[in-house]
């Protein structure tokens, strides 16, 4: 599209660019004096040489106008506190073409400038109202069909638009993951919730394409295609040339992506419906036919600034603003409408004003609708929990024939075998779960033929073959993106993160994406998963910070995330059953921390005692969320609260304390670290004469702080207490690691300190 010519008048130099853009359209139509053609029939080309037919143009034009007037309405009503979001789609209305040329069953992950896309996609199901639906979202109404008033997001359950809040491309990995999942479903016999030939659509801005998370997705897409594996994802880069106020170098997107191997590039003019339609059509058809990752470079512009608070006249010249506004795609669409003969000037202006009135009327009506008014309402979709249903699912045993086939007969069932250590019992539990859930997948770095760095997944690949147990590229962000994609398509992913420190590379995939989906979709969409993480310190022979990270603060801070940590094999099996049930029944996102140092631990007190090996629990045994394990429950001289490596450490220290001080020591293994069971902690604290909180994490922001808070708020703040905790430092190599981590001697010393205070 070429810029529409205007003279720069005094009016064009005003402060309120929304008013100027609005008036530009009206003036353009009023002053238009081009040749008028005989109106085409509905199925004829809207203009000679275009593949866009007249009927489609008319509907696309209406969708563009709806998007524009929603933006204009938001700017006006925000100052009246009737609308609460002003990032708009103006200049991007050409993305309506992508909506028209794809199906409403193609899962779509959209960035915030997608008003045109949504207005057009809502046409695909009769009776849907893009104006009222959007107005309810702008107004943060409880009746908002996308998020229930929690955020202004583009989303729709019936239209397969999964709500995104991303501004930095963090939704790209899960879009690719969804595309991969669509193809993988047939290989594992899974029934998809969408047609088998669906594609995943993902839109983002040119500035966001530079983000590491975007690059992760592009690289993984190419990595997949290079191996001749299908990945039908349509990356739509809406290139408006600027990110807030930072300009994209001219030609950067084309130069950077045009020749990338295994990322098929297409350009389309999103400013011109007549020209761009065929270009978008080629990209969509290519993606659907070839099942290859496709990069659609959609030329757009940005008018009216980044948002209502972005006063561009303060940092851009009038000449520059004028040049940008003259490329407004609605001006070109108006010209097509007039030149084609489909519309007269009065027709265009009447439609424009009628759309304005419709948007304002919807906004006023939405303002009168109820908003979220209580904390319970706000949090309702964040972390649903139905205990009875979860318990029933966790203890379900209607898959005995599959178990017998997987384990090789009755005598080889794990519950019939001798007690074993943690790594073995986790592996047995994973075999069990993959037998129980045919839609479950185990994947990550080295989990297949090698069986994991610590052999925890040994044998899974052989038993369940490569389509259900497989290696990924070494990229934690993409591993978690795949997990979300599989979950979106109705599978139960069990991704493995090889080390806890590696999770921090990809934290936002859980924090900002997976764990927020139920909240921002009002629990209409769920992406359940159980993320296994080899975790914590004390590992011998393979040390240093990245293999002994003891900080779980980032996990515990994520709203809605369930975090469990087992210290022994039988607990691990039961916790995994509960976590999978939480995922299956309530759609929960779960993290399971596996203490590396305990994987192979067999003994508790002396070498060869075998007291840290436990029998595998029968499949009808599970564990309630929040349920702890208590050792020596009747003891009350000292209660030690701990988890993970701290459990056998506390038990050994308890024996020494008993010998030295004559105390009976109770050890409480929390097992569930998020949410913490405050009631459990308070109940044990109330019967304790003294308390030690043993936290192998760091002093600041660790689990111990939450435990102490529960003790104090439970009315036990006066009970003598000591905290034994790691130092606020990274973990060094070799024996120096033990200088920064708590040990048995520290627990005993804390007990001595308490004894000194009470005269014992």
Has 547 been annotated as catalytic? yes
Which segments of 607-727 are extended strands (E)?
629-631, 638-642, 665-669, 672-674, 691-698, 721-726
Based on its alpha-carbon atoms, the radius of gyration of the chain, rounded to whole angstroms, reads 30
User: Is residue 234 classed as helix, strand or coil in its secondary structure?
Assistant: strand
What sign results for the dihedral spanned by CA atoms 169, 171, 175, 176?
positive
CA distances to 151, 537, 706 from 693, rounded to whole Å, are 39, 17, 10
Q: What is the DSSP letter of 161?
A: B
Q: What is the DSSP letter of 419?
A: P
Rounded to an integer, what is the distance from CA 200 to the centroid of its chain?
A: 16
User: End-to-end alpha-carbon separation of the chain, Å?
Assistant: 87
What sign results for the dihedral spanned by CA atoms 339, 341, 345, 349?
negative
User: Is residue 267 classed as helix, strand or coil in its secondary structure?
Assistant: strand
Cα distance between residue 190 and residue 77, in whole Å? 47
Long-range contacts for 369-376 (Cβ within 8 Å, ≥24 apart)?
369/136, 369/139, 369/141, 369/142, 369/143, 370/141, 370/142, 370/143, 371/139, 371/140, 371/141, 371/142, 371/149, 372/140, 372/142, 372/148, 372/149, 372/150
Residue 646's region, left for phi above 0, alpha for psi from -120 to 50, else beta, is: alpha
Question: CB 629: neighbour CB atoms within 10 A?
Answer: 18
User: Is residue 170 classed as helix, strand or coil in its secondary structure?
Assistant: coil
Cα distance between residue 201 and residue 385, in whole Å? 31
Question: CB 545: neighbour CB atoms within 10 A?
Answer: 18
Tokens of residue 373, six digits: 């008014």
Tokens of residue 552, six digits: 């779980």
Cα distance between residue 244 and residue 129, in whole Å? 30
Cα distance between residue 673 and residue 668, in whole Å? 13
CA angle 155, 161, 162 (to 5 degrees): 75
Q: Which of 421, 431, 547, 684 is catalytic?
A: 547
DSSP string, 500-533: HHHHGGGHHIIIIIGGGHHHHTTTSS---EEEEE
Phi, then psi, of 177 in degrees rounded to 5 = -60, -40
Q: What is the DSSP letter of 415?
A: G
CB 179 within 8 A of CB 293: yes
CA distances to 169, 219, 479, 590 from 474, rounded to whole Å, are 20, 11, 8, 21
Which stretch of DSSP H or E encloses residue 236? Answer: strand 233-239
Query: Is beta strand 242-243 parallel, antiparallel or unpaired with respect to 246-247?
Result: antiparallel
Place of tokens 């086939």: 405
Active site amino acids: 547
């Amino acid at each position: 599209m070429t810029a529409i010519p205007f003279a720069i008048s005094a009016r064009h130099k005003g402060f309120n660019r929304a008013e100027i853009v609005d008036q530009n359209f009206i003036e353009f139509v009023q002053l238009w004096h081009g040749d008028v053609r005989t109106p085409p029939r509905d199925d004829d080309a809207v203009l000679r040489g275009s593949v866009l037919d007249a009927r489609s143009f008319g509907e696309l034009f209406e969708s563009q106008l709806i998007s524009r007037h929603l933006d204009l309405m938001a700017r006006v009503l925000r100052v009246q506190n009737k609308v609460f979001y002003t990032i708009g789609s103006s200049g991007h209305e050409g993305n309506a073409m992508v909506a028209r040329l794809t199906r409403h069953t193609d899962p779509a992950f959209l960035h915030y400038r997608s008003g045109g896309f949504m207005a057009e996609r809502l046409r695909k199901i009769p009776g849907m109202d893009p104006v009222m639906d959007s107005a309810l979202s702008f107004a943060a109404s409880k009746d908002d069909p996308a998020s229930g008033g929690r955020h202004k997001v583009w989303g729709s359950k019936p239209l397969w638009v999964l709500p995104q809040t991303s501004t930095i491309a963090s939704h790209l990995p899960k879009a690719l993951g969804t595309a991969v999942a669509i193809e993988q479903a047939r290989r594992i016999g899974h029934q998809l919730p969408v047609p088998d030939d669906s594609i995943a659509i993902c839109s983002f801005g040119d500035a966001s394409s530079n983000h590491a998370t975007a690059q992760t997705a592009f690289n993984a897409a190419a990595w997949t295609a290079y191996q001749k594996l299908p990945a039908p994802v349509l990356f739509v880069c809406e290139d408006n040339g600027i990110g807030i106020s930072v300009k994209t170098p001219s030609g950067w997107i084309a130069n950077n992506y045009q020749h990338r191997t295994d990322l098929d590039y297409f350009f389309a003019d999103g400013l011109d419906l007549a020209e761009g339609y065929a270009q978008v059509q080629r990209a969509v058809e290519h993606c659907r036919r070839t099942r290859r990752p496709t990069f659609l470079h959609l030329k757009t512009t940005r008018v009216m600034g980044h948002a209502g608070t972005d006063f561009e006249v303060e940092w851009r010249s009038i000449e520059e603003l004028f040049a940008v506004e003259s490329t407004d795609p609605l001006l070109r669409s108006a010209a097509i409408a007039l030149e084609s003969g489909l519309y007269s000037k009065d027709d265009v202006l009447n439609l424009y004003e009628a759309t304005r009135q419709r948007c304002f009327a919807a906004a006023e009506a939405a303002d009168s609708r109820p908003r979220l008014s209580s904390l319970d309402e706000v949090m309702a979709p964040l972390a649903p929990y139905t205990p009875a249903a979860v318990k029933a699912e966790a203890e379900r045993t209607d898959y005995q024939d599959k178990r017998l086939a997987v384990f090789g007969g009755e005598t080889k069932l794990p519950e019939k075998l001798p007690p074993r250590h943690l790594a073995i019992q986790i592996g047995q539990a994973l075999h069990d779960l993959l037998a129980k859930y045919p839609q479950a997948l185990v994947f990550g770095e080295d989990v297949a033929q090698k069986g994991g760095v610590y052999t925890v997944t040994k044998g899974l690949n052989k038993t369940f073959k490569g389509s259900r147990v497989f290696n990924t590229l070494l990229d934690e962000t993409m591993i978690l993106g795949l997990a979300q994609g599989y979950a979106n398509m109705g599978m139960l992913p069990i991704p493995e993160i090889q080390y806890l420190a590696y999770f921090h590379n990809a934290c936002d995939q859980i924090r900002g994406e997976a764990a927020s989906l139920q909240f921002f979709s009002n629990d209409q969409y769920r992406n359940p998963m159980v993320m296994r993480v080899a975790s914590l310190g004390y590992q011998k022979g393979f040390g240093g910070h990245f293999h002994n990270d003891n900080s779980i603060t980032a996990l515990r801070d994520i709203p809605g995330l369930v975090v469990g940590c087992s210290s022994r094999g039988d607990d691990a099996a039961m916790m995994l059953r509960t976590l999978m049930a939480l995922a299956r029944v309530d759609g929960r996102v779960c993290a399971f921390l596996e203490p590396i140092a305990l994987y192979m631990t067999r003994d508790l007190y002396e070498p060869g005692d075998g007291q840290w090996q436990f029998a595998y629990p029968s499949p009808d045994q599970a564990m309630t969320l929040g349920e702890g394990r208590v050792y020596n429950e009747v003891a009350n001289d000292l209660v030690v609260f701990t988890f993970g490596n701290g459990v056998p450490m506390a038990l050994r220290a308890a024996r020494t304390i008993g010998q030295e001080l004559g105390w009976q020591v109770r050890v409480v293994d929390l097992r569930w670290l998020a949410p913490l069971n405050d009631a459990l902690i308070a109940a044990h604290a109330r019967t304790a004469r003294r308390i030690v909180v043993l936290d192998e994490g760091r002093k600041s922001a660790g689990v111990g702080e939450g435990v102490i808070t529960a003790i104090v708020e439970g009315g036990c703040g006066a009970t003598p207490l000591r905290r034994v905790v790691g130092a606020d430092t990274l973990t060094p190599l070799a024996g120096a690691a033990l200088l920064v981590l708590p040990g048995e001697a520290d627990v005993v010393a804390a007990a001595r300190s308490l004894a000194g205070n009470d005269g014992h």
